[in-house]
Structure 1
Amino acid sequence: MAKQSSLIFISGGVRSGKSSFAERLAANIANQKKGSLHYIAAGQSSDPEMEERIARHQKDRSRSGLNWQTWEQPKDLKRLSNAFSSNDVVLLDCVTTLLNNEFFTADREWEHPVYQSKVKESIFQGIQLISETCHTLIVVSNEVLNEPIGKNALVFVYTRILGELHQLLVAEAKQAYLVEAGIPMQMKGTKRT
């Protein structure tokens, strides 16, 4: 019998509280299962705003008093597929940043449908591989699909691929949440106790 999905998907707008909710959820699961906590950070320090966000997330994890092991992995999630054990609770934050990092590595490659598919498949397969090895994988992503796209081809392609990834992840997930104004709303699965 195949292992039931260990994937939990959490999305929400920027500054919605989704990362804080994901961290609390991961800590609760790890506490129940006596497992280790792992944090896959997709962010790269590329500008002052991103540096501030990374520092805030690091400070939040440090203040939690929990023993998070952090993995800096801005691209190629598959490289971590053997890093976790069956008791581990892993938090990936976040898919939108990971897609940015993968999508824009080569100049204008994003215009080619084959490249677009390759990037989407690589991210999804990396997430699947990690979810198969750990107890629970919590994946966080930004909900940017409600904003007007306009006529910018790059923005259109990026949001299309992000939307397709979200659909794949929710289909695979045992639970899915949307966080708005700090309030998590469960969209799929049964409530955790």
Structure 2
Amino acid sequence: MLTLVKVFSKKRKTTNFAPIFFMIRNIILQIIDFFYQPFAKLMPLQTFRYLACGGGNTMLDIFLYFVCYNFVLHQQMVHLPLFSMSAHIAALFMSMAVTFPTGFLLSKYVVFSESNLRGRIQLFRYFVLVAICIMLNYVFMKLFVDQLHLYPTVGKICTTALVVIFSYLTQKKFTFKVKQTR
């Protein structure tokens, strides 16, 4: 029994990734802020950063969706133990498995870095927002692909346009809001 205590009580070596994150953050900010100048009179810097980060993450999402739908799933139904899922819906979840963490990190550290909410609260709220966005994606994909018979990638692009507007407003006013200090 003592050996188990010793094994589990040993302190593990941890690596501090903070300098790497801040270096990446600074590079991303320098690139985005460089391209901001022509748009400075049209929109605030935060909105431009959201569009750049969200746009990049959205393009990644659409690309991953296309690859998953066409080359991973080969446009075939996915048969799970309890139910079957159409390929366009399965590809939606597969692409979001990558873009959820990248979207959160970009929002937290690049776009809404002035938010003074605790990180775990931001993550929980972001998770809730993403859950709502998944439902919206599902509903819109079913509408565009199954009802309106659009090609799935075109349906995904239309869905994304609607969900992005909702997402920006929710992130700014709820997920990464700045709490007023008294």
Compare relative contact order (CA 8 Å, sep 6+) and give the higher one, 1 or 2: 1
Q: Taking structure 1 as the reference length, what is the TM-score of the superposition?
A: 0.31
Larger radius of gyration between Structure 1 and Structure 2:
2
More strand by share: 1
